[in-house]
Amino acid sequence: MAGANMIYGLGMLESGITFDFGQLVLDCEFARMIKFTVNGIPVNDETLAIDPIKEIGQGGDHLMQPLTLKYMRSQSRPEVIDRKMRGAWVKAGSTSAYDRAMIKVRKILETHTPKPLPENVLATIRNIVEDAERERGIK
């Protein structure tokens, strides 16, 4: 299989009984990584960097080259997964990926303002709810 395959949705735990915002953020990060991998790594003249490799030569510093840094950053940009070495991670407070995910969740909940739904969409939702309530004798 070439992709993520889930029985239930992102952020869901306990066979879909429980939803967790922190897990949603983690799952989204995993899904981005999977999508990147499945889409493949672009291979072209620029990404192969044959000319810069020849110019710098054997034993030269390839890691600090602008092109290397450009593509290194485009390959993976984790927001909650921490790739620090253990010592640096401990000095930085030893926060877990879930802790960092919850920081992102709180920021989103505090700052995000959703765009209002168009009136026709709201009317459709109201009709669905009213129909369901009538069918179940709620109204």
Q: pLDDT digits over 98-138, tens only?
A: 999 999 999 999 999 999 999 999 999 999 999 999 999 98
- What is the model's pTM? 0.67
Q: pLDDT digits over 5-14, tens only?
A: 666 788 998 8
Given a cut of 90, whether residue 70 has pLDDT beyond it is: no
User: 74 to each of 16, 36, 65, 111, 123, how far by Cα in Å?
Assistant: 33, 10, 14, 26, 42
Cβ density class 67-96: b for 16+ within 10 Å, e for less: ebeeeeeeeeeeebeeeeeeeeeeeeeeee
Q: pLDDT digits over 48-60, tens only?
A: 888 888 888 888 8
Q: What is the mean pLDDT of residues 13-42?
A: 89
